[in-house]
Structure 1
Amino acid sequence: MSKIKQQAISGILWNGLRLIINVGSSFVIKLVLARVLFPEEFGVVGMAVVFTGFVQVLNDLGIGSALIQKKEEKLRSAHFHTAFWFGVGWALFMYLVVSVVVAPFAAVFYGEPILKSLIPVLGLGILSSPVNLVHKAQLTKSMNFKKIAIIDNTSNLSAGVLSLILAFAGAGVWSLAFNAVASIVIAMPQYFLATGWRPKCVVEKAAFKDVFGFGIYTTGTNITNYLIGNVDYLLIGKLLSAHALGAYTFAFILTNTFRGKLMAVINTVLYPLYSRIQDNPAALKKYYLKTVEYNSIAIFPIMVFLIAFADSIILPVFGSKWVDAMNPLKILSLSVMVHMMVNSNTALIRGMGRPGLEMKLQLVKAVIFLPLLYLGISYFGITGAAFAILLNKVIAVGIAQYTFKYLLSLKVSTGEFFDAVKYPWLASIVAYAVVNVMVTYASMHYAIAAFLLFGTYGAVIYMFLGGELKAQLKEVRELKKM
């Protein structure tokens, strides 16, 4: 087995463990908070996060991506020290902007006075995240995902437990705010210990140009991605209400948040991998298509489960206060399935050293998406927002195929792309149809039907891909012995 493949499999294993623990714990914590708190409280935090999250995107400036993408022989210690000090200085400036300008503006924009004090608290993550930036980039570049997984799991679990304590103590919206910030702060000393790296008083103009020259395109892409991913929160909070935004946030937590966590984990492995093999189009194509296939295999049954059983499970467990979230939840689940078909394309384009192209593509998507979203919310509320997102994902698949066929050296044909996802889609359709028939005509209990759904899905996948998956499992076992 090649060294790169070993590192890729090891990275996916550790990041898979990280995904299971992080998503599992975060999912459970958010569900418990949903049981204790009200949609309005989720909505107020959603309003605040729209603004603090945007500033967080500006805060990164693509520095971490630039350090990872830069080839080893061209990377000097001055790049790391310069990136660290510039990041910290920029973070201090951005936190001042958040506290003095953004918080009062958001309070007036939404008509929610609590945002004036809530946003500066959420903004504490802006101060701490650049301190972790260089350390995380070093671990990612060396593909040492074991340490990253340990740090993330420890910090997220600790923050989650503390936020639950606050929620049951009656802290309300502040328990959600603490959960959003604490993990970054808790991770800080762990990253210093993990890398052993210490910043020195070195700031070099040439190093800054190297890092920022790449990072500015990445930042442009991240800003566009953020606007596409969060403008729905902004418009729902403004045009509708905190209650509507809370219901929509709940649906988003169960669907796109899970997908986003998976994307972060997988792309953390793939980005440095793509960077290493950026001069080998055949290898890039192979890894990309397999990533699309395996991502879909993993996520599709969860989304089909939500589509099939949202009404049967969510309402009895969390109460009628979340009834408005049901239709958006089903639509967003389908949108996640479509999105998995282009899940790692941005990491691929960036890893190939084409951040400018990545940014242009995201701008095109934004121009198409924003009018759709505004019309959807204006006429159909949060259900219209969910439909706009679904349509946007379908358009994104088309744009991705045009890009791979005509704008990149990979030349991934439409046939090759759909060949990579045909079995997860087939398994999903068969599983949903079988369960729908059993529930509708045989009055099967939803708990038994849920097992039937996952069992049917697994059987179809095994029928067509069993041999391949066994071979991959064998390679994983060989890796563990090394």
Structure 2
Amino acid sequence: MDSQNLKGKVVTGVFWNVVQLLVNRSFDFAIKLILARLLFPNQFGIVGMASVFTSFVQVFNDLGIASALVQRKDEQLTEEHYHTSFWTGVIWSVGIYLIILFAVAPLAAIFYKEPLLRNIIPVLSLGVLSSPINLVHSAQLTKKMDFKKLAFISNVSTIFSGVLALILAYFGLGVWALVFNSVATFIVAMPLYFRATGWYPKFIWSKQAFKDIFGFGVYTTGTNLFNNLIQKIDYLLIGKLLSASALGTYTLAFVLTDTFRSQLMNIMNKVMYPVYGKKQDDIHSLKRYYLNVIKYNSLVIYPIMLFLVVLGEPFIITMFGAKWHDTILPLKILSLAVMVHMMVSSHSSLIRGLGRPKLEMNLQLFKAVCLYAPLISLGIYKYGIVGAALGYLVNKVLEVIIAQYYLKKLLNVSILELFFNLKAPLVATAISFAVSYSLYTANVHFILCALVMALSYAGVVWLFMSSELTKQIQQFRNRNKKQVAI
């Protein structure tokens, strides 16, 4: 694939993934808003407890198969690889679900002293059975960079599951509304994936194909395991050391901040991961692509996090109600943590795309064991959920330092280059913070403050990047015209 065509696919991929993000997040936010008014923090906390255990088991469900299929070059893959991946995933997922049913659910109920988990976890884990059926289709669409179909599948699944959750909550089913909101997404996506790819499995299994895929996937699975530990260690400890209500309060703050960040990064990683794989021998191009990913990620995330830092209190009280007041301070701290993390966002995907999954796994292991676990434990012990958020912020600062070391080593990206690359979002954030905070402290209504914040941020970004943004918009329009002509 030539560079111009690849660049066009990247631009189109980013567009459709932004569409997916906007639809998903807007609808998901509306669902969470309504559910938060219908339900209570302890109900969110119980589902949060269940998700801690199911997420650890689900890490092993993929076996890194999807990542291995996407990372390998086209000439290295045959139909045997796809059929072997499908049946390996299906058989493995049945075994995983049995472990959840007979071991994980009872242990979680004992660990948290919450009998309801014994019933919730098996239902919440139904996605384990459908996930491997979807993974080969998802990998094929990702490899082809057909993000329009992926966005359609994701949006339809999200909307359907959200409507189902609202209906269940309205009829008083409480935590089950949250449970089925997660489960329905996987199940609805299944027929849509088959329709999108037209690919159907045959009864073929190759030992050599399994070795090819599993050899790469085992490190990716290890990475995902430690990454999940990093993401869930605070949930695990808050639920155990504090209460379901405290976990529910923290969960809302996390969903509004880091979960949004991770969803955006997953979208960008989905676009860029196959690019990293195709360009893994061209370091100069990789560096350019990576710096652009960081810049555009930050352009989107910084104003949203700034809004939560400055106007988080009136936003929570107005939108979710006074019962969520304890969410405000953790929300602001986690927003700062997200802004720090954006400086090196997607570096794990880059390392994996370079064919270094073992390095990626070792880094995640070090961060999980030596940084996240001790710092967040200390924070919870000292200051409860506020301490957990502070521990998360400190971890993100340390993670930037570690990631920058390897970015310099692998791509020769200096810290000065990194800051210069982010000059537009950083300066825009600083100026819009000064303006909006001054207005807020002067008792101007928070909606007007938010409007001024958005306008000042957009204005500064346009001053810095008008020519670049105009060029990107023109390239996207030209590509769409070509596709229509074809």
**TM-score, scaled to structure 2:** 0.97
Who is 1:467 aligned against?
467
Residue 380 of structure 1 corresponds to 383
- Note if 1:117 corresponds to 2:133: no
Q: CA deviation at 1:373?
A: 0.6
Instruction: State the Cα deviation string for residues 34-86 of structure 1 (Å, max 9, x = none).
Output: 11100000000000000111111111110000000011111011111111111
Hey, what's the Cα distance between the residues in 2 that align with 1:457 and 1:12? 21
1:255 alignment partner AA: T
Could you tell me whether the CA contact under 8 Å between 2:47 and 2:179 is conserved in 1? yes
Give the superposition deviation at 1:423.
2.1
Matched, 1:412 2:413: yes
Which amino acid counterpart does residue 246 of structure 1 have in structure 2? G
- Does the residue aligned with 1:2 lie in a helix, a strand or coil? helix
* Mapped partners of 1:190, 1:246: distance in 2: 33
Contact 2:105 2:118 in 1 (8 A): yes
1:427 aligns with 2:428: yes
Structure 2 match to 1:249: 251
Q: Provide, for residues 109-147 of structure 1, a one-character-per-residue CA deviation record: whole Å limited to 9, x for no partner.
A: 001000000000001010110000101101100111111
Confirm or deny that 1:194 pairs with 2:196: yes
Give the conservation status (yes or no) of the 8 Å contact 2:233–2:372: no
Deviation at 1:466, TM superposition (A): 1.5
Aligned-pair CA distance for 1:395: 0.8
Give 1:283's aligned amino acid.
S
CA distance in 2, matches of 1:104, 1:363: 27
Q: Which structure 2 residues correspond to residues 71-150 of structure 1 after superposition, within 5 A? A: 71-150=73-152
For 1:440, the aligned partner's letter is T
Give the alignment's Cα RMSD to 1 decimal: 0.9
**How many angstroms does 1:397 deviate by?**
0.8
Matched with 1:41 is 43
CA contact (8 A) 2:14 2:271 kept: yes
Structure 1, residues 135-171: CA drift from partner, whole Å, max 9, x if none? Answer: 1101100111111111111111111101111111101
Unaligned runs of 5+ in 1: none
Indicate the SS of the match to 1:187: helix
Alignment map for 1:285-300 (pairs within 5 Å): 285-300=287-302
Whether the 8 Å contact between 2:297 and 2:342 is mirrored in structure 1 is yes
The size of the alignment, in residue pairs, is 479
Identity of aligned residues (%): 54
Q: Secondary structure at the match of 1:171?
A: coil
Measured after TM superposition, the shift of residue 317 of structure 1 is 2.8
After TM superposition, give the deviation of residue 422 of structure 1 in Å.
2.3
Moved more, 190-199 or 208-217: 190-199
Which amino acid counterpart does residue 449 of structure 1 have in structure 2? C
Note the alpha carbon deviations across 1:356-406, whole angstroms, 9 max, x for none: 111111112112221001000011100011011111111111111100112
**Does 2:318 align with 1:320?**
no
Helix, strand or coil at the partner of 2:422: helix
- Residue pairs, 1:217-232, within 5 angstroms: 217-232=219-234
Equivalent positions of 1:360-379 (< 5 A) are 360-366=362-368, 367-379=370-382
> Residues 136-215 of structure 1: matches in 2 within 5 Å?
136-215=138-217
Task: State the partner residue of 1:445.
Answer: 445
Counterpart Cα distance in 2 of 1:385 and 1:447: 29
Kept in 1, the 8 Å contact 2:63–2:217? The answer is yes
How many angstroms apart in 2 are the aligned matches of 1:438 and 1:368?
38
Q: How far apart, CA to CA, are the structure 2 residues paired with 1:88 and 1:45? A: 26
Equivalent pair of 2:344/2:404 in contact (CA under 8 Å): no
Q: Provide, for residues 229-264 of structure 1, a one-character-per-residue CA deviation record: whole Å limited to 9, x for no partner.
A: 001000000000000000000101111111111011
| Alpha-carbon separation, structure 2, partners of 1:137 and 1:436 | 45
**Structure-2 separation of matches of 1:26 and 1:47:** 20
- TM-score if structure 1 supplies the norm length? 0.98
CA shift digits 1:269-297 (9 cap, x unpaired): 00011111111001000000011011101
Query: 1:269 corresponds to which residue?
Result: 271
Amino acid in the other structure paired with 1:46: G
Distance 1:94 1:12 in 2: 34
Residue 30 of structure 2: aligned partner: 28
Query: What SS does the corresponding residue of 1:208 show, helix, strand or coil?
Result: helix
Secondary structure of the corresponding residue to residue 41 of structure 1: helix
Q: Partner of 2:480 in structure 1?
A: 480
Inter-partner Cα distance in structure 2 for 1:32 and 1:340:
29
CA distance in 2, matches of 1:165, 1:363: 41
In 1, distance between residues paired with 2:47 and 2:282? 45
Q: How far did 1:311 drift?
A: 1.0
Give the deviation of 1:440 after TM superposition. 2.0
Of 36-45 and 337-346, more deviation after overlay is shown by: 337-346
